[in-house]
């Protein structure tokens, strides 16, 4: 299995990061893509993944929460990070109109700059969209034919949004949200509409602990070793064998990241 998005550079893993990576391997998660969410976090992700292929790779980008700090210098820093052998995609980048930790104008500017960079370097994108679907799609359409691939990380949206992403030939990332009986039931229907060669799986650790874990860990921290819970939820939702879901999503992720 491949976890296409885990925030392993997060401070919550500082005391046991190597044990977390080993538990993932023992659980069958052979590859983890470490998410970069700022220049500092992207550098940490690249450093963590350095010389650890095929177990670890990384992305490099600026999350919309951090868009207020995005400058022209940031573009050069991301360009340099993109040249790192462990970095396989640009992002996490996009728009987040739910929390608006950065003003929308700053988010749009930072996102477009990263779209331009991905188009210039012909690199895949790891996208964040929260309650900003219309603006994200409008901007992405302007660059889509110059970007080799893009994945909508942690998809939780409606059917119309999924259709728009698939019409743009995007990949879709499904997290433990699908294991949440309170707010993720609609994903159990929508995941059936995602073509096998566009479906990818992720934990978004340390966030989104699957609610199907019994008993839940006391610390409530998610980690890549829990990806099989997402696999099983997708398998149950689509009427497929968990082994087939694991194999197919692994092949899809390998092709997307070129690993």
Q: What is the pLDDT of residue 1?
A: 98
Cα 244 to Cα 113: distance, rounded to the nearest angstrom: 38
Q: What is the pLDDT of residue 99?
A: 85
Q: What is the pLDDT of residue 194?
A: 98
Q: What is the pLDDT of residue 2?
A: 98
Cα 240 to Cα 225: distance, rounded to the nearest angstrom: 21
Cα 111 to Cα 107: distance, rounded to the nearest angstrom: 6
Residues 194, 196, 202, 208: is their CA dihedral positive or negative? positive
Q: What is the pLDDT of residues 40-83, one digit of tens each?
A: 999 999 999 999 999 999 999 999 999 999 999 999 999 999 99
Give the up-direction half-sphere exposure of residue 111: CA atoms within 13 A in the CB hemisphere.
27
- Residue 241 has phi, psi (to 5 degrees) of -75, 140
Average pLDDT value over all residues in the chain = 97
What the block records as the tokens of 48 is 């963590």
3-state secondary structure of 62: coil
Q: What is the pLDDT of residues 123-157, one digit of tens each?
A: 999 999 999 999 999 999 999 999 999 999 999 99
The answer to whether 88 and 59 are in contact (CB under 8 A) is yes
Q: What is the pLDDT of residues 207-246, one digit of tens each?
A: 999 999 999 888 899 999 999 999 999 999 999 999 999 9
Kindly list the distances between the CA atom of residue 224 and the CA atoms of 46, 77, 115, 123, 202, in Å, as whole numbers in the listed order.
Answer: 18, 28, 28, 25, 8
Q: What is the pLDDT of residue 219?
A: 87
Mean pLDDT score, 15-41: 98
pTM equals: 0.96
Q: What is the pLDDT of residue 158?
A: 96
- Residue 96 has phi, psi (to 5 degrees) of -140, 100
Cα 170 to Cα 135: distance, rounded to the nearest angstrom: 16
Cα 223 to Cα 208: distance, rounded to the nearest angstrom: 9
Mean pLDDT score, 188-204: 98
């Amino acid at each position: 299995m491949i976890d296409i998005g885990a925030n392993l550079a997060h401070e919550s893993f500082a005391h046991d990061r190597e044990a977390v990576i080993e538990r993932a391997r023992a659980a069958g998660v052979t590859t983890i893509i470490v998410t970069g969410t700022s220049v500092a976090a992207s550098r940490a992700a690249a450093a963590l993944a350095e010389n650890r292929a095929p177990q670890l790779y990384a992305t490099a980008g600026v999350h919309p929460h951090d868009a207020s700090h995005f400058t022209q210098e940031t573009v050069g820093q991301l360009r340099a990070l993109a040249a790192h052998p462990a970095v396989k995609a640009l992002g996490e980048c996009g728009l987040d109109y739910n929390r608006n930790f950065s003003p929308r104008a700053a988010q749009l500017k930072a996102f477009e700059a990263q779209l331009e960079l991905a188009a210039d370097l012909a690199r895949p994108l790891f996208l964040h969209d929260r309650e900003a679907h219309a603006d994200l799609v409008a901007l992405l359409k302007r660059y889509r034919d110059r970007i080799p691939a893009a994945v909508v990380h942690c998809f939780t949206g409606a059917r119309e949004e999924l259709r728009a992403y698939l019409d743009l030939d995007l990949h879709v990332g499904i997290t433990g949200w699908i294991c949440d009986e309170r707010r993720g039931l609609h994903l159990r229907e929508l995941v059936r509409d995602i073509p096998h060669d566009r479906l990818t799986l992720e934990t978004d650790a340390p966030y989104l602990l699957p609610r199907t874990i019994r008993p839940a860990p006391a610390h409530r921290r998610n980690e890549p070793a829990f990806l099989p819970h997402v696999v099983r939820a997708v398998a149950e939702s689509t009427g497929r064998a968990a082994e087939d879901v694991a194999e197919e999503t692994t092949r899809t992720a390998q092709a997307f990241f070129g690993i």
